Amino acid sequence: MKSPFPKARLLEILEASHQATRAFIEKEGEKILSLVTTTWECFVRGGKLLIFGNGGSAADAQHLAAELVNRFRRERSPLPALALTTDTSILTAIGNDYDFELIFVKQIEALGRPGDIALGISTSGRSANVIRALSRARELDLYTVGLGGGDGGRLPEVCDLVLLVPSNETPRIQEGHLLFLHLFAELLEEACFGETA
């Protein structure tokens, strides 16, 4: 069956994605490089990276943790990263016994230590459980990072560093986030273990 869409439609979407991701790197590139250095220093001190978000952002949290704990482009030792989105017993217990807005807060309280990094991912910057967790992480002296889009929502209120894809369209923001995950993993791997041959 012939598609009702011309190939030009695919290229139109690709171009919109390319423009958003390029603008993201041009706008936030220096901050991304700074975060790589900050994370490397955190790991050298024995700290860890705690990552969280909802829906597609939960998948991004798990994706990044997997790239760091396992490997990205080279064989090397695991890096200490943990997605707070994966333990269904913890998530459902907290959501049931307390409130869904606390599912990340309580994990930050249990696992976070001063000097660790808390990376909250929210395309809108308004996810209540992400904002509350970042706020609590800051109170506990973790370095707080928000990955979002558009105007950032409430992320600037609770984060030491905010990375925003300059778009208001969720798919374009998420594509920027995926690019960030791979850039961050690759550069962090190089910072920790040297450049690949």
Smallest CA-to-CA distance from 135 within 86, 177, 102 is with: 102
Binding residue per annotation — 56? yes
Q: What are phi and psi of 45, to 5 degrees?
A: -80, -5
Q: Are 118 and 145 in contact (CB under 8 A)?
A: yes
Binding residue per annotation — 122? yes
Binding residue per annotation — 135? no
Task: Dig out the tokens for 77 from the structure.
Answer: 């030792």
Binding residue per annotation — 53? no
Binding residue per annotation — 129? no
Binding residue per annotation — 177? no
Task: Dig out the tokens for 42 from the structure.
Answer: 């955190």
Binding residue per annotation — 97? yes
Binding residue per annotation — 55? yes
Smallest CA-to-CA distance from 150 within 23, 58, 33, 12 is with: 23
Binding residue per annotation — 70? no
Gap between the Cα atoms of 136 and 157, Å rounded: 12
Binding residue per annotation — 46? no
Gap between the Cα atoms of 7 and 116, Å rounded: 46
Binding residue per annotation — 168? no
Show binding-site residues for substrate: 54-56, 67, 96-97, 122-124, 127, 174
Show binding-site residues: 54-56, 63, 67, 96-97, 122-124, 127, 174, 182
Show binding-site residues for Zn(2+): 63, 67, 174, 182
